Amino acid sequence: MSALSATSSPATALARPHRPAALSASSVLLRLAAPLAWRSRRRAAEKLQGFAATEAGSSLDMLKAAELSDEPRLRALFLRHAVDEARHARLFRDAARAIDPNARLAPSEYQKLHARRQDLLERHGLVRFVAFVYLAERRGELQFQVLRDYFAGHSALPALSPLFARIAREERFHVAYSRRLLDEWRQAGRGAEVRSALWRVRAARGWEAWRRIGRMAGDLVGRVLLSLVYLLCLLPFALLQRWKEPERSGWRYPALDEDRAPGAALARARRQG
Ligand SMILES: [Fe+2]
Ligand SMILES: [Fe+2]
């Protein structure tokens, strides 16, 4: 039996009924955040563009992994995975355009970053790379299942439910083959290596999330503090200045620069005319 047929293929998965998203803390959080994250057609188009960028970046990494793999079985799996992710990127891009043709379709800097190749296999080695693929695909499958359920019967964007259902089914194949590879390595006596790889990927993800939350919190606190400084310090002094020296308050052009004031040239021309 080949490795591809040993895993659950998308064709097999297509025949299965929908499995509701597993009830976990992550799925509950995703479901709670969905109404805000997908609050308008424009926002939905931007989210889909973001997904397209991530899928495109993933496709490039899988292609590179296929190129670097000596083992034909791994090369075939990674290549098939790359083709799937490229298709997902196209599906998400098309859906974004269908939802909001006027949306800004140029990717943001954040999206460009995600659409780039990360060279994960070269940086981390095969076991950690597959551990990363397994955890990322599992997270992706759960996210798309939650969104499939959220958009089922959605009055404004009903077409998104079948789209997320299709992509979640295909992500299941990526989860299945990467889990199988990890299981094979465990059975071959490399359990400690697999455990360490999974732990390191989870730790890196946790650290990334912590930094992301820190950046967002820092941005928010900075805005609040600067607004307070403005209101508590600058505004009273400005009012005091206005009260004490009303003739010097407000914006004025210096007397010597009168000719350079806006409209001065027009006024001069009128006087001369
Ligand atoms: Fe995907
Ligand atoms: Fe995937």
Please say if the pLDDT value at position 172 is more than 80.
yes
Cα of 234 from ligand 2 centre, angstroms: 53
Considering every ligand atom shown, identify the ligand nearest to the alpha carbon of residue 86 and give its number. 1
Considering every ligand atom shown, identify the ligand nearest to the alpha carbon of residue 55 and give its number. 1
| pLDDT value of position 228 | 82
Average pLDDT, the chain: 83
Please say if the pLDDT value at position 89 is more than 70.
yes
The pTM of the whole model exceeds 0.85:
no
Cα of 169 from ligand 2 centre, angstroms: 10
| pLDDT value of position 219 | 76
Cα of 67 from ligand 2 centre, angstroms: 18
| pLDDT value of position 12 | 43
Considering every ligand atom shown, identify the ligand nearest to the alpha carbon of residue 91 and give its number. 1
List, for residues 110-166, the tens digit of each pLDDT value: 666 666 777 889 899 999 999 999 999 999 999 999 999 999 978 888 889 999 999
Considering every ligand atom shown, identify the ligand nearest to the alpha carbon of residue 139 and give its number. 2
Cα of 261 from ligand 1 centre, angstroms: 59
Question: Which of the two residues, 272 and 187, has the higher pLDDT score?
Answer: 187
Task: Mark the residues whose beta carbon lies below 5 A from ion ligand 1.
Answer: 55, 85, 88
Contact 31, 145 (CB under 8 A): no
| pLDDT value of position 262 | 61
Cα of 63 from ligand 1 centre, angstroms: 13
Please say if the pLDDT value at position 66 is more than 60.
yes
| pLDDT value of position 224 | 82
Cα of 155 from ligand 2 centre, angstroms: 28
Q: What percentage of the chain exceeds 90 in pLDDT?
A: 48
Cα of 83 from ligand 1 centre, angstroms: 10
Cα of 237 from ligand 1 centre, angstroms: 56
| pLDDT value of position 1 | 37
Please say if the pLDDT value at position 100 is more than 80.
yes
Average pLDDT over residues 242-249: 74
| pLDDT value of position 205 | 85
Say how far apart CA 43 and CA 265 lie, in whole Å: 46
Considering every ligand atom shown, identify the ligand nearest to the alpha carbon of residue 138 and give its number. 2
Confidence of residue 14 (pLDDT cuts 50, 70, 90): very low
What is the 3 state secondary structure string of the chain? CCHHHHCCCHHHHHHCCCCCCCCCHHHHHHHHHHHHHCCCHHHHHHHHHHHHHHHHHHHHHHHHHHHHCCCHHHHHHHHHHHHHHHHHHHHHHHHHHHHCCCCCCCCCHHHHHHCCCCCHHHHHCHHHHHHHHHHHHHHHHHHHHHHHHHHCCCCCCCCHHHHHHHHHHHHHHHHHHHHHHHHHHHHHHHHHHHHHHHHHHHHHHHHHHHHHHHHHHHHHHHHHHHHHHHHHHHHHHHHHHHHHCHHHCCCCCCHHHHHHCCCHHHHHHHHHC
CA distances for 176 relative to 80, 143, 231, 247, 250, angstroms = 13, 16, 57, 77, 68
Please say if the pLDDT value at position 93 is more than 60.
yes
Cα of 80 from ligand 2 centre, angstroms: 10
Q: What angle do CA 213, 215, 218 make, to 5 degrees?
A: 105
List, for residues 206-219, the tens digit of each pLDDT value: 888 787 777 777 77
| pLDDT value of position 19 | 64
8-12, 43-47, 132-136, 234-238: which has the highest mean pLDDT? 132-136
